[in-house]
Every structure is written in structure tokens, then in C-alpha cells.
Chains A and B, each alone.
Chain A
């Protein structure tokens, strides 16, 4: 399957029983119907549970840390424009 955004190759990963498609190029993630809810449920369980034992390394290198905001694209979305000219973003990227 090709990424509809950047034409990269999509790979399927199994995350605790939820299949997600991730683009190898732009790291965008596609979720099918119900998968977001499944992931959210698991995340809630994770937050309530005691720290898990050291897990075996996940199949792919994690694209972002657990606290990160994934760049989730839905099928109906086009690409998003980098807002680097937006004043706040410009300051975040171009100044100390």
C-alpha cells in the first residue's frame, strides 16, 4: 500500500493486537475504523496500570516517545502545510 500523502511505502505493524499502517517515509499513521478507540483504551489501561516490566523491544523503532503527539493522518485529510511562517512556529524553530 502506498501512502496517499507522500507516496511512501506503508508497512503494517501489530501494536498489542491493533494493526496500524505506518509510512516508512513520512511516518504518518493510518488507523482503520475503531482502531483509534482501541489504542485509546489501551493507553488508558496503561496509565492506570503499575509500570509494566521491561518489554521486549517493539518491532519498529518507535517514531516518537510515549508522551509524543503522533502526527495522525486520516484518509480524508490532505497533506498539512508546514506553518513555519506562523510567528509562534517561526520563533520555536528559528530562535533560542
Chain B
């Protein structure tokens, strides 16, 4: 992995607080050298020895919902990195404390293990939580039983597409493809009740996996955890496979690891349930690429162009058979 900057002299009061919290945390050491792991989009993550301290985005669900989600992580140490402490408030931000885990190396992503871990997440008993996704439950009410919220729709897709410059050529290709998605995905219609619900991560990608010292993998980042259609957790690799970016053998390893997890229909026709999620993520990733290229004033590279081309094919293919 690339070298990350050391924070020998924490640049901000918030960073200084995070370092102090990490040093004092269970497993922390007072003389550990702090390292910034992430500092973007209003999120600051600092590693101090074997402890990681995260200041969350200010506008997320940082209250009772985060507590419910962290409780799920704490109850499932075989699936999630378990929190070391309760969330706390520091300088107007919510801060959580975690053990350090080794991120995935891009040279050898553990595709099979990633698929298996996702299937195990989806198979996790929902008992109390399942009620939250059923009709008659109070979606906006309190969660006295610790119920997780419904994971309803891929909100990031419409958010990122809304940031596109409507005059750009590639932008128009992406916007046309977005217009072919079902109205509920675009946020223009009520979300249909998912036919198949499970405990879902809600924002799954390879950056959400870390290895423990024993080499086994765990999920991180519980902020989108909910009860919803598990197919959406497979949407990103499915989209990248469909765009020709993710090699077929790695996609096959991932699916082999996932096996007959809950997203897989009984008849094995995975693309029936994956088609709309994969289209949506292809469009979302294409939009993210174009926005990033425009911000850097550079042309799209071959992989980014492949995503835009995928959007053309989505528009050309008409309505999804998965609708």
C-alpha cells in the first residue's frame, strides 16, 4: 500500500483529540505513532498503534441509529470488526473507536472470502430486525427494540447523477441511462417492498474489508447497515464485471464464495435479481468517474470510458427484465 502521512504534530484540534482517544483506548499505547488513514468527505480516520479512531461525517445518522448499527457489529464479531467503545461526541462530531485491521491489497483481493463473508452477513438471523421491513412497522418511530432501519434505495446513485453537468457529452450518456432506471430507484416513486430481505451492509466494496492478525476477514463501516434486498450488496462487482473492468475469473471466485447465499434465487438465475442493481451501480460509478475527471481537467481513461460505454448499452437494451 502507499505510504500514508504520519501525524507527528496533529494538524487540527480534532486530530489531536482522536490521537488522545486512541492512545487511551483499550489496546492503545501512549507512545504509538499516529497515522492518518483517511481524511476526505468530512471523515477523519486516524490509526494509533492497534487502535483506529474515526470522526464521522457530521450529517449522517449519528444518533440512536448509529448505536443500533454498532450494537449489531458488537454482537457479530465473526462478521464485523467489533467496536472497542461506545460512540462519543468530540468537538461537535461523533467519534468511534475500533481495532486496527489490515486493508485489502489491490494485488490480491480475497474475492472468494469476500463473497463468503457477504453471504454469511445476509444469512444472519434477523428475528427482531426483520419486523422493521414489514408492512405495519413504524419506519420513523423510535427503535426501542434495537431494530435496524430498512435499507430502501440506492440514494447515492441519484445524488451523484444530480451533480453532473447536463451539457457534457458523456454526462448526457449517463443521464439518459439513469432515465431508464425504475422510478423508485431514481427516487421518483415509492419504494416497493423488497421480495427478499436480509441484513445488508448497504455500501459494500473492497474498501469495507479488513484482515485480522489471524488472516480472517471482517466487514467495517456499519453506517448503512439495514434490512433490505441483499442483491444490492453484490451490485458494485456485478456492475464492474458487466462493464468488462472486473475480470470474469475474479467475478466467478466472488460468486463461488457467495454460493447459495440469500441474494441467489432458488432457480439460480442471479441476473434476474441483479440486473437493476448492477445497472444502477454502473451508472453511479460512471457518474463518479466523470465528475472526478472533470474536477481534475483530464480526459477519461480506458476503464472510465468503459463505464460510460456501459451506460450507452444500458439505454440501448431497454427495460430491465428484473423490473
Contacts and interface: CB of A to CB of B under 8 A. Distances in A.
A51 B301 CA distance: 34
Interface string A60-96: 0111111111110000000010111110111111111
Interface stretch (B13-21, B60-68, B84-92, B246-254): B246-254
Nearest to B281: A92
Contacts of B248: 26-28, 63, 71
Contacts, number: 109
B249 A93 contact: no
A25 B303 CA distance: 24
Contact of A61 (B240, B268, B301, B316): B268
B252 A26 contact: yes
B243 interface: yes
Select the residue from A25, A70, A88 with max chain B CB neighbours within 10 A.
A88
Nearest to B256: A25
Nearest to A73: B248
Contacts of A53: none
B242 interface: yes
B310 interface: yes
A1 interface: no
Interface residues of A, number: 35
B6 interface: no
A47 to B, nearest CB: 7
A69 B316 contact: no
Nearest to A27: B248
Contact of A68 (B205, B237, B241, B304): B241
A82 B279 contact: no
A65 B242 contact: yes
Contacts of B247: 26, 71, 80, 82
B106 interface: yes
Contacts of B249: 5-6, 25-28
Interface string B241-276: 111111111111000000000000000111100110
A57 B269 contact: yes
B289 A92 contact: yes
A83 B270 CA distance: 26
Interface in B304-323: 304, 306-307, 309-310, 313-314, 316-318
B183 to A, nearest CB: 19
A84 B309 CA distance: 20
B187 interface: no
A91 B269 contact: no
Nearest to B314: A67
Contacts of B109: 84, 93
B317 A67 contact: yes
Contacts of B243: 68-69
B316 A67 contact: yes
Nearest to A81: B247
B303 A86 contact: yes
B158 interface: no
Contacts of A64: 241-242, 271
22 contacts: A26-B249, A27-B248, A51-B318, A67-B313, A67-B316, A68-B241, A68-B313, A69-B243, A70-B244, A71-B241, A82-B247, A84-B106, A84-B109, A85-B107, A88-B301, A90-B106, A92-B288, A92-B307, A93-B236, A94-B205, A96-B156, A96-B207
Interface of B: 104, 106-107, 109, 156, 203, 205-207, 236-237, 240-252, 268-271, 274-275, 278-279, 285, 288-289, 292, 301, 303-304, 306-307, 309-310, 313-314, 316-318
